[in-house]
Structure 1
Amino acid sequence: MSSTTDSAPELKRDRRNRAAPRTRLDHFPRDPIARWMLRLGLATPLVVLALLLDAVPRPTTSPNAHLMDDVAAIDWTRGDAEWLALLYPHISTFIAASNPFGRLGLSIMGAIAAGFLLQKVAEIIAQRAIPRSTGVILIFALAANPLFVYFALENFQGFLAITFLGLALADVVRFVNWGNTESGFRAGILLMLAALSDPTGILYALVAVVASPFLRHGRSSTRGLRAANMLVLAFPTLGAFATMMFLNVLFFGVLWPVNDVARVVGGIPDALGALSDGAGTATGWLLLAPVASAWLVAAIVRRPAAIPVSTIVAVMLAVSFVLGAFHPAAAGIAFTLLTLLAITLIPAARTPLTNVLVDLVAMLQIAIAWAAALNRDVVVVWMQSVADAIALVVS
């Protein structure tokens, strides 16, 4: 009798200490302190690098340099509807305008955004039960290369947009796969924030909406479910831009400022020429390599539905380039976007052989990223600035 009584407190303590089974809706890590420590740990190396780069000359053609120039030229005494449209991308513009540290401040904020993005990627990997070895390789493939670091530190508005996309993708998976309605609304708002952070954010919102029907649906028998999900994801972005266009039409009789439209239309011939010249070159092949890798992984895990998604995204990237959505000195957008989508859309391998094959393709992505970085002049010049900063500290 006494032995049974003595064991009761031990059983209660064991129940209290036993961790609840992980579900696909859990954050990663589940402990908020550990989650913030992970974000901080992932952002710290980039913050340190941003501080080092501030001590040496850097290229003045970077997107961050142009963003600061654009902010300095804004007439803050205006307050009309057309002026509101001219402030686009609004989120990045207001953040840059309130930033007292110039390019250094933009780089540090980009580094912090990278910590949030990589933590969210780790969460997607954990929620989808991807093997740990594959998950580590995928994160290295995404972030351990000059393309990603340059993107984070020198293109704040573009990286902020893709960070919002990364945060949205986890909610898109929860919403579509497991029917979590709250996640659907949150994903729609995050996609709207991406679209208001950079012109490429419009592309990201389109990609997320177009990719959602290709995810496995938890209630696939419901009629019209895919169209309804797409509308939920797209509605906040459509509403934000419809409001601005309505105000412009109401007060000025145009959907969007004429100068912006003329600039986009006037740049199409040159962009088409650059796209044509790049086809068949090393640059063109390196841009297509992540698409081919996505096809290969889809074939390995027997998920052919993922192949049309990567193909559609490649076409969207080309159209966005022609329409001038990319800054001339931007780099790493296509690689980062396609790698994020691969992590989100491709199901986990279920056999040892497929695990090994997926790991090999992921390691190939690392080589592709470095080759693409060394093929971009703006990134090579920036890497020289990194080498100069490190040499200054060591000497």
Structure 2
Amino acid sequence: MLRLGLATPLALLALLHSLLPAPADTPNADLVASLASIDWNRGDAEWLALLYPHVSIMLAAANPFGRLGLSLMGAIAAGFLLQKVAEIIAQRAIPRSTGIILIIALAANPLFAYFALENLPGFLALTFFGLALGDVVRFVNWGNTESGFRGGILIMLAAFSDPSGILFAVIIVLASPFLRHGRAAAPGLRAANMLVIAFPTLGAFATIAFLNILFFGTPWPTSDVEVIIGSIAPGLSELVVRYATPTGWLIAAQLASAWLVAVIVRRPRTIAVSTIVFLLLNIAFVLGVFHPAAAGVNFAILTLLAIAIIPSARTISSNVLVDAVALGQVALAWLAAFDRPVVREWMARTIDAWSMLVG
């Protein structure tokens, strides 16, 4: 019921947007175009690689409702993601006030709604990442091996939902040693945990690469590699320009918030985690991992990691300070939404659709 309740507002927004013609420059539009270009009569190893991202392609192919169906899938995924976030907050005994504010900061803004309804591949990757976080925390904190295997499989699904899912897999593997370990210290414990989490993703990609090398002499289709290489120079130039604008300042402010919470709760090691994640996000941007019309990825990832890694405050003053930083995240989310042109256009479409509905 909680998942249904959390998904309903986004599902209603998806139905509202269906009153207007769908925009042509969103990730969902490109997913539909990719689906139309697939030759379903093939079955060779190269075709298997060309299906990437497999999870999103297969779900889109099974969807009979077109663009509306993709948005509804995103709304359903949001219900699962937010329920898992609430579960992690409860399991980790984070104060209720902080947990409520963090969920509001994550989801109660146009940035999250646009992400869920217009970027199904990226949002599926984020959802699987969020679901995996809960299992990885159980695996590392409580020594629950089944949760470790399940978390690894969920991360694999994230990596096969969108190229950004590969980034999420790297992030969660690198972040796992910074979680509190419930088992007795042993040589190689952290490395073993990282291998359990990473193995399904590594195995799946290695299988596809092996088949391509065996039959075609290359680990991945050459066209994809050329696109990645060609995106580096323009991506780097755009990144430099971005950090000279309010967009870059807002992204940096999210990182500063993570540092501030780490200092408040006296967990300075997590500063390294947030910094590494921030650097990985920038590298992914340069490599063209994110769709040009994607929005909200940085904010969602840093917020989810804060919930999973940073311990709850233990004094009243610490709780108040963490709540203040979390309220700042709410403001940052709305400022970031108004800063991104694609999200502003999406909000304008929401207003137009509502005006059409009520006359």
| Common fold: TM-score over 0.5 | yes
Aligned equivalent of 1:8: none
Contact kept, 8 Å, 1:57 with 1:385, in 2: the verdict is: no
Cα displacement string for residues 318-349 of structure 1 (whole angstroms, at most 9, x for unaligned residues): 11111111000000000001000000001011
Alpha-carbon separation, structure 2, partners of 1:220 and 1:213: 14
Work out which of the residue numbers 186, 193, 199 in structure 1 matches 2:163: 199
Alpha-carbon separation, structure 2, partners of 1:352 and 1:147: 31
Cα displacement string for residues 289-333 of structure 1 (whole angstroms, at most 9, x for unaligned residues): 111111000000000011000000011001111111100000000
The alignment status of 1:152 with 2:138, answered yes or no, reads no
Work out which of the residue numbers 13, 28, 36 in structure 2 matches 1:72: 36
Aligned equivalent of 2:17: 53
Aligned equivalent of 2:61: 97
Contact kept, 8 Å, 2:22 with 2:67, in 1: the verdict is: no
Aligned equivalent of 2:131: 167
Q: Which amino acid aligns with 1:392?
A: M
Larger-gyration structure (1/2): 1
Work out which of the residue numbers 184, 192, 205 in structure 2 matches 1:241: 205
Q: What SS does the corresponding residue of 2:292 show, helix, strand or coil?
A: coil
Q: Which amino acid aligns with 1:222?
A: A
Contact kept, 8 Å, 2:17 with 2:349, in 1: the verdict is: yes
The alignment status of 1:253 with 2:217, answered yes or no, reads yes
The alignment status of 1:345 with 2:309, answered yes or no, reads yes
Alpha-carbon separation, structure 2, partners of 1:221 and 1:271: 43
Work out which of the residue numbers 324, 328, 341 in structure 2 matches 1:377: 341
Contact kept, 8 Å, 1:43 with 1:114, in 2: the verdict is: yes
Work out which of the residue numbers 150, 157, 173 in structure 2 matches 1:186: 150
Contact kept, 8 Å, 1:161 with 1:201, in 2: the verdict is: yes
Structure 2: runs of 5+ lacking an equivalent:
none
Q: Which amino acid aligns with 2:43?
A: G
Work out which of the residue numbers 172, 183, 191 in structure 2 matches 1:227: 191
- Output the aligned Cα RMSD: 0.8
Alpha-carbon separation, structure 1, partners of 2:173 and 2:214: 29
Q: What SS does the corresponding residue of 1:364 show, helix, strand or coil?
A: helix
Q: How far is 1:75 from its partner?
A: 1.0
Q: Which amino acid aligns with 2:242?
A: G
Contact kept, 8 Å, 1:146 with 1:383, in 2: the verdict is: yes
The alignment status of 1:389 with 2:353, answered yes or no, reads yes
Work out which of the residue numbers 307, 311, 333 in structure 1 matches 2:297: 333
Alpha-carbon separation, structure 2, partners of 1:57 and 1:70: 19
Q: What SS does the corresponding residue of 2:35 show, helix, strand or coil?
A: helix
Cα displacement string for residues 18-77 of structure 1 (whole angstroms, at most 9, x for unaligned residues): xxxxxxxxxxxxxxxxxxx00000000100110010001342100001100110111111
Q: How far is 1:212 from its partner?
A: 0.3
Alpha-carbon separation, structure 2, partners of 1:185 and 1:370: 37
Q: TM-score, normalised by structure 2?
A: 0.99
Contact kept, 8 Å, 1:58 with 1:385, in 2: the verdict is: no
Q: Which amino acid aligns with 1:377?
A: P
The alignment status of 1:123 with 2:101, answered yes or no, reads no
Q: How far is 1:394 from its partner?
A: 2.0
Q: What SS does the corresponding residue of 1:207 show, helix, strand or coil?
A: helix
The alignment status of 1:315 with 2:279, answered yes or no, reads yes
Aligned equivalent of 2:235: 271
The alignment status of 1:109 with 2:65, answered yes or no, reads no
Q: TM-score, normalised by structure 1?
A: 0.90
Percent pairwise identity: 69
Alpha-carbon separation, structure 2, partners of 1:74 and 1:307: 44
Alpha-carbon separation, structure 1, partners of 2:337 and 2:241: 19
Aligned equivalent of 2:262: 298
Structure 1: runs of 5+ lacking an equivalent:
1-36
Q: Which amino acid aligns with 2:148?
A: G
Alpha-carbon separation, structure 2, partners of 1:393 and 1:128: 43
Q: Which amino acid aligns with 2:5?
A: G
